[in-house]
Amino acid sequence: MSSADAGGSPSGFAATLLAWYDAHGRHDLPWQHPRTPYRVWVSEVMLQQTRVQTVLGYFERFLARFPELPALAAAPEDDVLALWSGLGYYRRARHLHHAARLCVERHGGELPDRLDALAALPGIGRSTAAAILAQAHGQRVAILDGNVKRVLARLTGEAGWPGQPVVERRLWAEAEARLPQQRIADYTQALMDFGATLCTPRRPRCGDCPVQAGCHAFATGRVALLPTRKPAKPMPTRQARMLVLRDTQGRVLLERREGKAVWQGLWSLPEAADEAGAEGLRAALGAGPGRSLPAFDHAFSHYRLEVQASLHAVREPAPGGMEAAATGIPADAAAPATGMPADAAARAAERRWVARTDYDSLGLPRPIRRLLESLP
Ligand code: SF4
């Protein structure tokens, strides 16, 4: 099927989409006013895997703390992760921070305005780079994020899974063929809005769709089948035992995770892979027997983690305040080599006693925060 027949001619598609955007698109998103490269970049990274409604509050707080790229580059990683806390996919935040530092070192504190230079920065793929250039500079480049892949697969009837390189190449060609000559920034936002609000993954509103007449999936009754799903692979499960050590002041012992494990750089609980490992860790940390807390699980993108936690009262107040928050226990020394998580590179770089009032100042994974806030 040619691109000219699907979804109308390429130029017709863009004109129709822009008219729809003028009437129904989102014109008051905070990163649109002003639409600077830095603001668009932060919003694009936050919007990967996350809905606009969720991102709004995070974006405002992030920009209030880091209004310009050099402020982000100069910040400690803990501050960046604390503001990202709850958004998930923390690698995005670490990449954003690292890329900001590279921009200061190599590009005079600005994001480069060339596709190849942008896409060479950590966490910026071809589509994100194009979104920044199109929206902040009006450059005539195509985006192809998950939303756009879905829209184009339905419009053209592309039947392969969009993660396959050959399918992706065809969708890039479609995306490029449909670019208008004018209003690239609006067109880019229009595509995103169209995918997010109308041609949605489930129950798209085909009855209200301005390009329905040119939609191959609609004409052939295959809307629910496109885009083709990724071939299913069973999700592996891993176990973890976590220890909640609480001192007489109500503070809990947290450790910053290092290595290549998930939640890298975030603050979590001392953790082992099994009961024996947890016993060794408890002894090394000088805690007595505890009581079990309700088990919970958490889905990462590549595995499911099942967690059993236990609460241990530490009778003597821990030394030092939040500042000198070190426990006096060398993190690595206290972590036994056996029974630690298998992937794990999950080693603690540093441990601290943390009061409930200080949770906001640290990057805490959402399930850990939920567990701490539910403690009796
Ligand atoms: Fe998407 Fe339905 Fe419009 Fe086709 S007709 S583009 S499936 S909303």
Task: Note the pLDDT tens digit of each residue in 23-35.
Answer: 999 999 999 999 9
The per-residue pLDDT for 70 is 98
305 closest CA partner among 331, 362, 344: 344
φ/ψ region of 232 (left if φ > 0, alpha if ψ in -120 to 50, else beta) reads: beta
Confidence of residue 1 (pLDDT cuts 50, 70, 90): very low
Catalytic residue list:
44
Please list every protein residue whose CB sits less than 6 Å from any atom of ligand 1: 151, 154-155, 198-199, 204, 206, 209, 211-212, 215, 217-218, 223
Spell out the residues 6+ positions from residue 55 whose beta carbon is closer than 8 angstroms to its own: 43, 46, 47, 87
Residue 196 Cα to ligand 1 midpoint, Å, equals 12
**Substitution site in 5, 148, 151, 220 for ligand 1 pocket (most atoms within 8 Å of beta carbon):** 151
Q: Which run of H or of E encompasses 252? A: strand 252-258
> pLDDT by residue (tens digit) across 50-63?
889 999 999 999 99
DSSP string, 204-243: --GGG-TTGGG-HHHHTT-GGG-SPPPPP-PPPEEEEEEE
CATH 3.40.50.1000 corresponds to the domain 237-373: no
Spell out the residues 6+ positions from residue 226 whose beta carbon is closer than 8 angstroms to its own: 150, 153, 154, 157, 158, 159, 217
Could you tell me where the DSSP H helices lie in 69-125?
A: 69-74, 77-84, 91-106, 115-119
Q: Whose CA is nearest to atom 2 of ligand 1?
A: 206
One of 3.40.50.1450, 3.40.640.10, 1.10.340.30, 1.10.3720.10 is the CATH number of 3-225, namely 1.10.340.30
350 residue type, one letter: E
Q: What is the mean pLDDT of the chain?
A: 88
Give the ligand 1 atom nearest the CA of 223. 7
Confidence of residue 349 (pLDDT cuts 50, 70, 90): low
Please give the Cα distance from 193 to 52 (Å, whole number).
Answer: 10
**Substitution site in 178, 191, 199 for ligand 1 pocket (most atoms within 8 Å of beta carbon):** 199
Give the ligand 1 atom nearest the CA of 210. 3
More confident residue, 199 or 340: 199
> pLDDT by residue (tens digit) across 120-177?
999 999 999 999 999 999 999 999 999 999 999 999 999 999 999 999 999 999 999 9
Please give the Cα distance from 135 to 176 (Å, whole number).
Answer: 16
Give the ligand 1 atom nearest the CA of 226. 7
CATH 1.10.340.30 placement within the chain = 3-225
For a pLDDT cut of 70, what percent of the chain falls above it? Answer: 88
How many Cβ atoms sit within 10 Å of the Cβ of residue 68? 14
CATH 3.90.79.10 placement within the chain = 237-373
CA 369 from centre of chain: 17
Please say if the pLDDT value at position 182 is more than 60. yes
> pLDDT by residue (tens digit) across 253-271?
999 988 767 888 899 999 9
40 near 31, Cβ under 8 Å?
A: yes
More confident residue, 340 or 116: 116
Please say if the pLDDT value at position 344 is more than 70. no
The token pair that represents 266 in the structure block: 């975030």
This prediction has a pTM of 0.75
> pLDDT by residue (tens digit) across 268-326?
999 999 999 999 999 889 898 999 999 999 988 889 999 999 999 987 654 443 333 34
The token pair that represents 101 in the structure block: 């530092």
Give the ligand 1 atom nearest the CA of 216. 4
**Substitution site in 13, 16, 20, 155 for ligand 1 pocket (most atoms within 8 Å of beta carbon):** 155
> pLDDT by residue (tens digit) across 111-126?
999 999 999 999 999 9
